Homo-oligomer: A and B are copies of this chain.
Amino acid sequence: MSETKELNLKEQIVGAARNVLLSEGYRNFSLRKIAREIDVSATSIYLHFENKDDLIHTLMEQAIERLNNQLQQVAAEADSPIAKLEALAYEYVQFALNNQREYQIIHLTSSDEMTRYPKEKFRKARKGYEIVSSVLQEGVNAGLIAEEKPRMAAYTFWAQLHGVMSVVLSKRLDTRINQQEFIDEAIEHIIDGYKVRTALQTKNK
């Protein structure tokens, strides 16, 4: 009994927290608001989470897990390594666009904006890197990709993509530039950066 109730409240808190985040944004994300939503005192949150950051870390963990699952799926479906990279990139972009506020908090671990993301959870989060890493290795083996350090390249790959989505979501984009075109162009460039360079692949579209 108390077992399920315990889990219930913790789950309720996380659920309410997600609601508040999605509806009000990170800026107006407050423990008291969350507590109010499930009719519980704000201090009860401290029975299940160390503090506000800890709760947010849990939200981050969930979002990362969902993203990684989707990535794994699309990577499995595509066949050529290049096609896989493209599919991964577009899936990532879609996730960011469809889950803007969750995407935002995923990238909130920055140095002093929040307590360091705990390293146990960190390992899980690395799955996305591993996926790209192995796709790149696949591409190297097939002679399509020039890359002697796939693990590092996996990081540069996601980093570049994140940068692209970061300017898209922050609406920094020049109004004369079409968003989807920008994304397409950027992904093309990013993937081009990893391809082997042969005369046959001269850009000509």
Chain A contact residues: helix, strand, loop or mixed:
helix
The CA of A166 and the CA of B107, in the complex, are separated in Å by: 9
Partner of A111, one of B158, B170, B197: B170
Chain B residues contacting A198 (CB-CB under 8 Å) are 197, 199, 202
Identify A202's interface contact among B153, B164, B177, B196, CB under 8 A. B196
Chain B: minimal CB distance from A84 (Å): 17
Q: Among the listed stretches A10-18, A69-77, A178-186, which one makes contact with chain B, having 4 or more residues with CB under 8 Å of it?
A: A178-186
Which residues of B sit under 8 angstroms from A188, Cβ to Cβ?
193
Q: Closest Cβ of chain B: how far from A131's Cβ, in Å?
A: 14
Binds B, one of A32-40, A43-51, A144-152: A144-152
Q: How many residues of A contact B (CB 8 A)?
A: 57
A181-B149 Cα distance, complex, nearest whole Å: 11
With CB as the reference atom, state the residue of chain B lying closest to A205: B148
Q: For residue A182, which residues in chain B have a CB less than 8 angstroms away from its CB? A: 152, 155-156
Enumerate chain A interface residues (CB-CB to B < 8 A): 25-27, 100-101, 104, 107, 109-114, 116, 126, 129, 146, 149, 151-153, 155-156, 158-164, 166-167, 169-174, 176-177, 181-182, 185-186, 188-190, 192-194, 196-199, 201-203
